[in-house]
Amino acid sequence: MPSLLEARHPTRLSYSALSTYANCGEQFRLERLYGVRGGTYWSTIGGSAFHVIGEAMALRSLGIDVEQPSFEDAFGAELEKVLQRNGITEDQIIASGRVVKGGLTPGGGPNKKNRDWWLHYGPQMVSGLARWLDEDPGKVWIAPTGEPAIELLFDIEIAGVPVRGYIDMVREYAGGFLRIVDLKGGNRPMTTEQLGVYSEAIRQMFDAKATQGAYWMAQEFLPDPRDPEAPAPKIQWESLVRYTPDYFDARFGMARDGIDAGVYLANPSNLCGGCSVRDFCRLQGGARAEEVPYREPKREMVLACA
């Protein structure tokens, strides 16, 4: 029997961790306690490159003179980082999306969304963002600390749990109205809860209200090849007022209680096919499942602010 991996209990949560815990406790346990790392995807590399450029573009929209790399250069730099960090070669990187035999389309290509796909559509995503930044009536918010609200780090506490993350962008509109923007190179999330967490972070850090937000979906802003001059689509602003401090107290509090009690129930679903830790999942017959114990001894107050 292979030697068992050792658990390292989490000391803080991010929105992504909360979301994973809510979707499948076993996936959370494998990823966050045992550090099981799934495969590396071209979409992660492409998405990171897009974010690097998006940050530079947003800073430049404020007149701040920062270098803006080409998509190809940013993609190459991110690829290099991933290859070194994960100790892999390019042929081990996984392509997401669909097989489309006829050529590259927004949904995939002959080899799904691989390197070629990203080098074709990545620059178009950048053009789409440039056009939107140009046409949007708002501007990047300058936080009370004087820093532009771009890739804004937050380190807050919800239900006694340290919660950390980065907000892609907060924008300010007429009358000082604030809106949160999260750049997405992939699929639209099922809910706006992530934006709600960012709104809560803005409230806690700056005593400011950002009651609306949106996912800026790169693929929806790709230029129409039949009419490249067509106006950019409207962004879908969503109300975030339902994400109150009490709501998050309950949501993170329940996750904290479950994690502290060692409750990690697997939730098999149609997402299992693309699950990054499937090889270690006992329920799905993962080949390496024996390397992880069934469960950990109960731990008190794993997630707590000092």
List contacts with ligand SF4 (CB under 6 A): 24, 26-27, 266-268, 271-272, 275, 277-278, 281, 283-284
Cβ 278 to ligand SF4, closest distance in Å? 4
Cβ 30 to ligand SF4, closest distance in Å? 6
Q: What are phi and psi for residue 148, nearest 5 degrees?
A: -65, 140
Residue pair 87/98 in contact by the 8 Å Cβ criterion = no
Start-to-end CA distance of the chain, whole Å, equals 39
Cβ 18 to ligand SF4, closest distance in Å? 16
Nearer to ligand SF4, 64 or 271 (CB): 271
Cβ 262 to ligand SF4, closest distance in Å? 16
Q: How many Cα atoms sit within 13 Å of 273 on the Cβ side?
A: 2
- Give the separation between CA 221 and CA 195, rounded to whole angstroms: 20
Helix intervals (H) in the chain: 15-23, 25-28, 42-61, 71-86, 115-135, 193-206, 245-260
Q: Residue 268 corresponds to which tokens in the numbers above?
A: 């098999």
Q: Which of 166, 198, 164 is nearest to 180 (CA)?
A: 198
Cβ 216 to ligand SF4, closest distance in Å? 28
Cβ 44 to ligand SF4, closest distance in Å? 18
Nearer to ligand SF4, 163 or 281 (CB): 281
Nearer to ligand SF4, 29 or 179 (CB): 29
Cβ 240 to ligand SF4, closest distance in Å? 28
Nearer to ligand SF4, 171 or 278 (CB): 278
Nearer to ligand SF4, 19 or 114 (CB): 19
Cβ atoms < 10 Å from Cβ of 285: 9
Q: Which of 205, 193, 244, 280 is nearest to 17 (CA)?
A: 193
| Burial (Cβ within 10 Å: 0-12, 13-18, ≥19) of residue 97 | buried
- Give the separation between CA 203 and CA 132, rounded to whole angstroms: 26
Nearer to ligand SF4, 223 or 262 (CB): 262
Nearer to ligand SF4, 179 or 278 (CB): 278
- Give the separation between CA 195 and CA 12, rounded to whole angstroms: 19
In one-letter notation, the amino acid at residue 224 is D
Residue pair 25/283 in contact by the 8 Å Cβ criterion = no
Cβ 273 to ligand SF4, closest distance in Å? 8
Nearer to ligand SF4, 22 or 266 (CB): 266
